[in-house]
Every structure is written in structure tokens, then in C-alpha cells.
Structure 1
């Protein structure tokens, strides 16, 4: 009788223990679900690794030299801010570069320095990420009035388009509406055939965060507050993409 009594007591306690654990998990799930991405709730999410690709670097300065700015530096600063924001949301973040370097030495193909650099970026994206964002600055010397953020995606990639739309909405709300109080300028999404979009095997976007040839955008590109806001907006767009 004693052995049976002990057995029954342990069995009841186990049921109570697991019921409590299940109840706590359900509360944590619903509280967390409201404010955090899937990657926060489920750390094993298949979309938890984000590759950030700061365009250009090293010998390749990108655009902006005529204005006393270099695109490669702006790209890197925004990318590092974006990395910090994404890590704060418990995403795993991989950078194609985290300092002022070009990447051609990481490619084995026989080609020009420029193509080797692109090939290295493509390989790093394909081998490390679930989605990616490539950060750039735009220029249009023929029309200094042209301004604003453009988000490019590969035309046949449905997931990339969805990511682009999510980031676009976030930038319009966070940057243009709330931060700049602008109604006449908005971010737009554009399908295009850029190498980094065409040759990669995961959803991704290329974001031109402003036109360095436009005086108003150029002023923003010099601003640390703008860099922080655009990075936060991109992060929020990625979070929204995973939630949906």
C-alpha cells in the first residue's frame, strides 16, 4: 500500500507541474507575440538569420566624392545601426563587411575586381542568410530634384517583393511621416535585375536610402539622426515581414 500511495502522489505532481509549465508558456507566447517577431518567439525560426550587405567598400568608394561624401561610409554606418537594431530583436545578423574593405579577395572566380567583389557578396548571402538587405546611396546627376528612398527587389521573387513592401511601409511611416513630416515624398518599391538580387537564392532587397545628388537628401545623409531613423525603419519592416 505504501508503494502504491507514493506512486500516485508522484503521478499527480507531474501532471500539476506540466500544466503549470504549459500555462506559463502560453502567457509568454501571447505577451511576446504582440511586440516581437517570430524569430524572438521561436528561436529556431527558419527566417532568423539576416545578412546585411553594406554596398561598396575599400578601393570602391561608390558615389558622392564630388560632394565631400563617400557612399561606402554612409552604407556602413547605416548597416551597423541596422545590425544593432536587429540584434535587439533577437535576430542573428551576418555582415558582408563590418569595416572599410572590399571583398574581391574572398572570391575564387577569374574576373575583374568589381565582379569578384560581387561574387563574394553573393556567396556570403547564400551561405549565411534567410533574408538579406543590401544598403546603398543613389545618385542622379541629370536631375538634382530626384530624391527619396527606393527599395529594389527581383521581379520574379514574391517573397522579396513582400519584404520590399513591408520595409517601404515602415520607412514611409517612421521616416517620412513621423520624423520628417513630409507628405510629398515617399519611399517606393521597384523591380529590377541587379546582380545581388538576381544571383542570390534567398529573399532580399537592395535599398537606396537617398539621392546624394539632391541637396535635401544629401543633408539627410550627413545626419546621424536620419541614419538612425532609416536603420530603425528597415528593422521594423523586417520585423513586420516575419510577423506576417
Structure 2
């Protein structure tokens, strides 16, 4: 009987050991694939050289945006992710302008009335992008909904801008691949900031702060960096595919 029990224990731990090794192998393979993709993206980052990108952290100052389920206002998360995005894009060779780098809005302190302040704030963000003749405008926001089950990143563009639609789809694709948290598709909406800008422009809703899991994740520095990386990867995808589409088919032929 003891031999049988001993044999059973050996078999049991053998199977457990194999499962552990298998799980480790899967994780190592995932890390290899992710790192390979990161290297591919880094190798293609030359397409950002000489590009001027405006990164706009949504809300700020007297405008908190939505309030997350944990009580953290949207404006704080928007700013942290935007700063990380600006750093990543800068490291890849782009020139980056942040519309704000602290807890402020762009309206005059003397402006009265919420609507008046909001209109002035948004118009100045747009004027900054247009005035500097930016190549891209990326506005970073958090989403919110009455149901806590809603989750996932989503990118929005204006229906009258075909180039913005392509940019939105590229960022949506990379966010879905890297974050693995969404099956949402890029959508077109008529929002002021992306209607008035004169360059490809998108609003990136990086997740739902009314979802307990995403609200917690979006406050974690490592996840914020991952979100920033996924947006940058989408921007590189946009420029890389544009370069390929615009390449002369006769290049390299005699």
C-alpha cells in the first residue's frame, strides 16, 4: 500500500512539475514575442524623426473630468499617461509638445461660468496644435459609464478626416494587441477638438475608470507606461503604413 501511495505521489508531483514547466515555457515565449515586437517597433521608430506631435492630457485644473470608482479624478491619470507618452515619443525621435504638464487648464482664471471656461480651454489646446503646425494631435482621456462592466481602450476620430480615421485604427489595433483588454473598434465622432484641428487628430480613451479593475490598473505606473507604449506603437504603425502606401512602386526597378 505504501509503495502504491508513494508511486501516486511521484506521479502527481511529476505531472505538477510538467505543468509548471509548461506554464513557464508559455510565459517565456510570450515575453520573447513581446520583446521581438518591441524591437520591431523600435527599429521602425525612424519614421518619427522630424515629426511634431502634440499630446493633450484631457481636462486639468478646475476641470477634473470623470471621477474614478476609487475617487481619483480622470485629469490625474490623463496627465501621467501623457507624460509617459511624450517621453516614449521623444526617445523615438519625435518633437513633442504637451498642452499641459501640471494640474492646470488653459482657460483664463478670470473666465466665469463652466461652459465659457471649457470652451476657452479647448479652443486654446486646438490653437496650440494648429499654431505650431503639428503633424499629429493626440488627446488622452479616460472613459466612464454607468455600468461597471464596461471596459477597454477605444480611439475616436472625426468623420470628415480620413487620415484621422487611419490613425485611430492603427492606435486601436496596437492597443488591443499590447494591452489585450479590448475588442472595441475605432469610432468616428463629432468632438470639438478633433473637428477644429488641422492635422490628423484622435481622442484616445485609455480605459474605463468606472470599471474597478481598469481604474486600479490605470493608476499603476507600469501599466501607464504600457498604455503609453501601445499608443506610440500605433503612431509608428500609422507612419510606417503611410510610407509603404506612398512609396513609388517603381523604386528599385531598372
TM-score by length of 1: 0.76
Q: Which residue of 1 aligns with 2:44?
A: 35
Aligned residues: 198
CA deviation vs aligned residue, 1:6-61 (integer Å, no higher than 9, x gap)? xxxxxxxxxxxxxxxxxxxxxxxxxx995333233xx4xxxx10000000001111
CA distance in 2, matches of 1:227, 1:92: 21
- SS of the residue aligned with 2:218? helix
Answer yes or no: is the 8 Å Cα contact 2:194–2:202 preserved in 1. yes
Answer yes or no: is the 8 Å Cα contact 1:107–1:120 preserved in 2. no
Q: Which runs of 4+ in 1 moved over 6 A?
A: none
CA distance in 2, matches of 1:64, 1:124: 27
Where do 1:69-148 residues align within 5 Å?
A: 69-105=72-108, 112-128=116-132, 129-141=134-146, 143-148=147-152
Q: Which residue of 1 aligns with 2:220?
A: 223
Q: CA deviation at 1:156?
A: 1.6
CA deviation vs aligned residue, 1:57-109 (integer Å, no higher than 9, x gap)? 0111111166320110100000000000000110010111011101012999x
Deviates more, 1:110-119 or 1:131-140: 110-119
CA distance in 1, matches of 2:195, 2:47: 27
Q: Which residue of 1 aligns with 2:188?
A: 191
CA deviation vs aligned residue, 1:144-195 (integer Å, no higher than 9, x gap)? 211111100001211101101111111111111xxxxx5xx33420100011
* Structure 1: tracts of 5 or more residues without a match: 1-31, 177-181
Where do 1:10-21 residues align within 5 Å?
A: none
TM-score by length of 2: 0.73
Task: Report the CA distance shift for 1:213/1:33 in structure 2 as closer, same or farther (over 3 A).
Answer: closer
Where do 1:144-159 residues align within 5 Å?
A: 144-159=148-163
